[in-house]
Structures are given as C-alpha cells and as structure tokens.
Amino acid sequence: MSWFDRFKGNTPSPSSQGAPQQDFAGSNAERQAEWESALHHHRLPAFVKQRLSDASSGKLPWISTMTPAELAQTHRYKVRPIAMVSGTCWYHYGYSWTNGHTAGWHQALKRMQQEAVAAGANAIVDVRMRKINLHVGASMDFTVMGTAIRVEGLPPNPEPVVATVTALEFMRLLEADIVPTGIAIGAHYEWLNSYSWANLDAKGGWINQPLTELGNFWERVRRKALLQLRQDTQRDGNGVLAHTHFGELLKVEEQNAARYLGRHIVIGTVVDSKRYGAVPHDIRHVVDMCDGTSPMLEERQHGHNAYDTNQEEGSI
C-alpha cells in the first residue's frame, strides 16, 4: 500500500489514475469569481483568509521557507513561522516599461503584505522576487513571496515588515539594531533625440574621444533612478542596500536620425537603523581548509529570479 491510499481508503490498481489532491475551495468558476472580486476590492478571497488564519491559530501546520538552521535560530528569539505568503501582479507596459516595473513590484508587495496581515504576522522574511517564464506581449508578472513570522509577545503588525534577507540574517540584523523593513525601487527612463547628430556618434573612426552627450545622458538616467530609489526608501527606513541593478541603453534608428532610449532600474532592501550603532558580535577569523569551492566562499543563492533567466530543464 502506498501512503496516498490513506486519502482514498482503497487500494489502487496499477492502472489507477491516482487520487486527486485535496484542496479547500469549490469549483473553478467559484474560485475565479472569488479571485476576481477580491482583486477588484483589494482584499483576499475568503478561502485564502481562512487558510492563513487557521495557520496562524495552529489549526493548520505552519509553512516556512526556512532551513532547519534558521528554524533553530528563530526559536531562540521566540520567533515562529506562520505561513508562506505571496503577492502577484501581472502588469502591461503601455507608455512605459520602466515605470511599469515600479508599479508592478509595488502592487505585488502590497498584496503580499495583505496576506501577512491575514496571518497576523509581524514581519515577512526571506522575501524573493520572482517572475514566470511566460511572454505575453508587452507585459510581465511581478511576484514576491516569503515567510510570514510572528514574534512572541508582540501584537500583530498592521503593516508587516518586508525583509528580503533570510531568517538567519534577519535575526543577526535585529541583534545589531538594524531592521530590514521593505523593498525600494528606483526606475527611470528617458529618450535622447539626436538633433545634434554629430555629438552623439563618433566623428570619425580614427580619433580617441569620449561621447560626451551620450555619456551625460546615460549618467543622468542612472542618477535619476537612484534619486527615485532614495525617495522610495524614505517611506520605510533610513537606508537602502541596493542589490539589483539593471540598465539598458538602446539605439532606435529612424529615417535620417536615431533616438536613444536609456532605462535603469535599481532595487534594494530598505533598512532602518541607528547611525553609529555597535555590532554586538565578535568575528572570528578562520582559515578555510576546504579544497575547491568552499561553502563559505560560494556565492549565495538569493532566490530572486526577476532579472535573470529561469531554470527549466531538470527542474522538479
């Protein structure tokens, strides 16, 4: 007897199609209607709310992206995982691809926070930014997911803190009085028209020369994106650790002229910390004797896939 027989209570023949997995809500049509009205009214469908509050009260098992090491550490600090929460927004770029990224991520974050509120959480840790490998015209999906956690003895937070760091790092940061509080996005794009065509492209093939106008233009685009990042940061904290930079400079040829499109997106983790605070930990120097790639030196997988390619073949 295989274990899924427990759901069915009979022995499947080898040709059995297998028992369907259980889930909560009713028919496809009912679910669709619930989702539609939920997204329209900026709330959660009743069955999602129920599941999250059941997980919060312990009626359902908790779900966590944490590793066992993180679980052990969070226990020490009386932090409990509640549920995995996510937010999605599929966004169509009309007039601006760049601004679409800002709007899309913000909407997804808002929705994830909604789920965390339903779970009675204080914070969401291990938040990853994802996208799905499905191309539909000029649009893209923005997905964030993470683990909602509760700190024992604290009342639920109406605006749960969003931390893109793992639970382990979250704890280390809290000890040092640094609170990762959210995600900030800075995005800017501009067009450069080539009225003064000569200044944009190289004058001749023989001379070394900086392309000043184009260079200035590109610098301006980046600076404005960073400025927006700074402004976005102010909502949640007093610092930002920008981990993702994405920039593109495109040349669009038209009849006799060319236009350039510069776009730049910066995304970072917002932190709220006291200036000049001390770090309570001592750091030990160790010599790592591992040959080849050591786990200590290995590049950490952060789990974001929004600005690189998705894995496909061989995935589970």
x/- binding map, residues 13-32, to other proteins, per CB under 8 A? xx-xxxxxxxxx---x--xx
DSSP 277: P
Strand partners for 205: none
x/- binding map, residues 222-261, to other proteins, per CB under 8 A? ----------------------------------------
Rounded to a whole number of angstroms, the minimum distance from the CB of residue 31 to other proteins is: 6
Q: What does the alpha-carbon distance between residue 245 and residue 102 come to, in Å, rounded to a whole number?
A: 13
* Cβ partners under 8 Å of residue 210, min gap 6: none
Report the residue number, 55 or 240, with the smaller CB distance to other proteins: 55
**Helix pair angle (46-57, 28-40), 10° resolution:** 90
The number of beta carbons lying within 10 Å of the beta carbon of residue 43 is 13
Query: Count of residues binding other proteins (CB under 8 A)?
Result: 92
Q: Using CB under 8 A, which of the segments 198-206, 222-230, 241-249, 281-289 binds other proteins?
A: 281-289
Q: Measuring CA to CA, which residue among 188, 263, 275 is closest to residue 232? A: 188
Rounded to a whole number of angstroms, the minimum distance from the CB of residue 100 to other proteins is: 5
Task: Choose which of 198, 207, 278, 316 interacts with other proteins (CB under 8 A).
Answer: 316
Give the footprint of other proteins on residues 94-133 (CB under 8 A): 94-96, 99-100, 103-104, 107, 130, 132-133
Report the residue number, 214 or 225, with the smaller CB distance to other proteins: 225
Binding of other proteins at residue 174 (CB under 8 A)?
no
Binding of other proteins at residue 310 (CB under 8 A)?
yes
**Which residue's entry shows tokens 């000569």?**
198
Rounded to a whole number of angstroms, the minimum distance from the CB of residue 222 to other proteins is: 22
Binding of other proteins at residue 277 (CB under 8 A)?
no
Q: What does the alpha-carbon distance between residue 133 and residue 309 come to, in Å, rounded to a whole number?
A: 8
Task: Choose which of 10, 41, 135, 210 interacts with other proteins (CB under 8 A).
Answer: 135
Q: Measuring CA to CA, which residue among 182, 175, 186 is closest to residue 272? A: 182
Chain center to CA of 289? 35
Rounded to a whole number of angstroms, the minimum distance from the CB of residue 105 to other proteins is: 12
* Burial class for 140, CB neighbours closer than 10 Å (0-12, 13-18, 19+): buried
Rounded to a whole number of angstroms, the minimum distance from the CB of residue 221 to other proteins is: 19
Report the residue number, 147 or 194, with the smaller CB distance to other proteins: 147
Binding of other proteins at residue 300 (CB under 8 A)?
no
Report the residue number, 95 or 195, with the smaller CB distance to other proteins: 95
- List b or e across 91-129, with b for residues whose CB sees 16 or more CB atoms inside 10 angstroms: bebeeebbbbbbbbbbbbbebbbbbbbbbbbbbbbbbbb
Binding of other proteins at residue 216 (CB under 8 A)?
no
Q: What does the alpha-carbon distance between residue 214 and residue 200 come to, in Å, rounded to a whole number?
A: 6
Strand partners for 125: 147
Give the footprint of other proteins on residues 38-97 (CB under 8 A): 39-40, 47-48, 51, 55, 60-69, 71-73, 75-76, 78, 81, 84, 86, 88-96
Contact status, residue 187 vs residue 98, Cβ threshold 8 Å: yes
Report the residue number, 41 or 275, with the smaller CB distance to other proteins: 41
x/- binding map, residues 136-165, to other proteins, per CB under 8 A? xx-x-x-x-x--------------------
Q: What does the alpha-carbon distance between residue 160 and residue 56 come to, in Å, rounded to a whole number?
A: 14
Binding of other proteins at residue 292 (CB under 8 A)?
no
User: Which tokens belong to 270?
Assistant: 């917002």
